[in-house]
Structure 1
Amino acid sequence: MSVWAGIDLGTSGIKLALFDDNEHLLAAASRPIAVSRPRPGWSEQPPDLWWRAVCSGLDELAATAPEAMARLRGIGLSGQMLGLVLLDEAQRPVRPAILWNDQRALAECRELLEKVPDIGRRSHGAPDPGIIGPKMLWLARHEPAVLESS
């Protein structure tokens, strides 16, 4: 019987599970991940924490269910959306990820609404500080060296 892994990269932790073809849970692991809030409204995580948590969780699954891991046929992934991760030429993050719930780009959203009043209709959604565009505008103004290095 085949085994399937599920990995969920959530904001506060990573959850991993192994299931058989009949959807029976064979093993599970989780790892907490701290959210950094260096200023009010900010929400960041170093992407390397995600990788280390996934690897550690997979190691636990392999230790607790080695027979199941030997039959692993596929991995399903889910995760938080709209986090901004910028990479350098060597594919390394240049700064912590700015998460979906980060609010630092509120001023950029207001500015977009003032300059393009119908932006919501044009883009099928109003500017929100959690989406990538306003975050990129914020970085261009406050951390231009980060953008230049990515």
Structure 2
Amino acid sequence: MKYVIGVDLGTSAVKVLLVNQEGEVVKEAAKAYPLIQEKSGYSEQDPEEWVEKTAEALAELAAGFNGDPADIEGISFSGQMHGLVLLDERHRPLRNAILWNDTRTTEQCRQIYEIAGRERLLQITKNLALEGFTLPKILWVRQHEPEIFQRAKVFLLPKDYLRFRMTGKIHMEYSDAAGTLLLDLRKKRMEQGIMPAAFD
């Protein structure tokens, strides 16, 4: 029997499943982590909590697996979308992640419309500027934490950061990238020029 592991990085906990080739869940483990809400509308998490709790959940899963580890053929990651994890040149987090349900960026959404234009944004990204998306968060950090913004070299979404820590690979899939407001869906590539003021 062959198996795969699924890792779902949720807003309140990470859930890890061991699934066999018939789609049956054989083992599962979940580990919770806290939200950080310093102000009204703020919602953050420490990215290292995700890594630590995922490692714990995987260890628990492995401890309860009686088969041959070689029969586990793959691992897949899913999870909360649109959050912002900023990394420095050595790919270390510069601050807590700002989550999808953080609503501090109403003003930045307005600025995006003013600079990029509502119709142009819709034409390129097929999305409106909403507080939950990633670009408004990048703009907020640029305006309110300029010293952190200047040190930032890479941004990732939460599950992409977790996958990076687990595999050493930096990737982002198209469906997630669309929620950043930086993906040109026609060209299927990230376009910094959509909102140049966020990156000046």
Same-fold call, TM cutoff 0.5: yes
Secondary structure of the 1:5 match is strand
Q: Which has the larger radius of gyration?
A: 1
Task: Name the counterpart of 1:24.
Answer: 24
Find out whether 1:78 has 2:78 as its counterpart.
Answer: yes
Letter in 1 for 2:143: R
Secondary structure of the 2:26 match is strand
Find out whether 1:51 has 2:51 as its counterpart.
Answer: yes
Cα deviation code 1:8-67 (max 9, x no counterpart): 001111001111111222111001121111110011011111111110000001111142
Contact in 2 for aligned 1:5/1:74 (Cα 8 Å): yes
Letter in 2 for 1:99: L
Q: What is the rounded CA distance, in whole Å, between the counterparts of 1:68 and 1:36 in structure 2?
A: 40
Q: What is the rounded CA distance, in whole Å, between the counterparts of 1:132 and 1:44 in structure 2?
A: 13
Secondary structure of the 1:118 match is helix
Q: Please list, as runs of the form range in 1=range in 2, the aligned pairs for 1:83-102 lying within 5 A after superposition.
A: 83-102=83-102
CA RMSD of aligned residues (A): 1.6
Secondary structure of the 1:53 match is helix
Q: Which runs of 5+ in 1 are unaligned?
A: none
Task: Name the counterpart of 2:193.
Answer: none
Q: What is the rounded CA distance, in whole Å, between the counterparts of 2:122 and 2:24 in structure 1?
A: 45
Change in 2 beyond 3 A, CA 1:126/1:48: same
Greater mean alpha carbon deviation, residues 15-24 or residues 120-129:
120-129
Q: CA deviation at 1:68?
A: 5.7
Task: Name the counterpart of 2:13.
Answer: 13
Contact in 2 for aligned 1:3/1:68 (Cα 8 Å): no
Aligned residues: 150
Change in 2 beyond 3 A, CA 1:102/1:67: same
Q: TM-score, normalised by structure 2?
A: 0.70
- Work out which of the residue numbers 134, 143, 146 in structure 1 matches 2:136: 134
Greater mean alpha carbon deviation, residues 120-129 or residues 49-58:
120-129
Q: What is the rounded CA distance, in whole Å, between the counterparts of 2:4 and 2:82 in structure 1?
A: 26
Letter in 1 for 2:58: L
Task: Name the counterpart of 2:145.
Answer: 143
Letter in 2 for 1:57: A
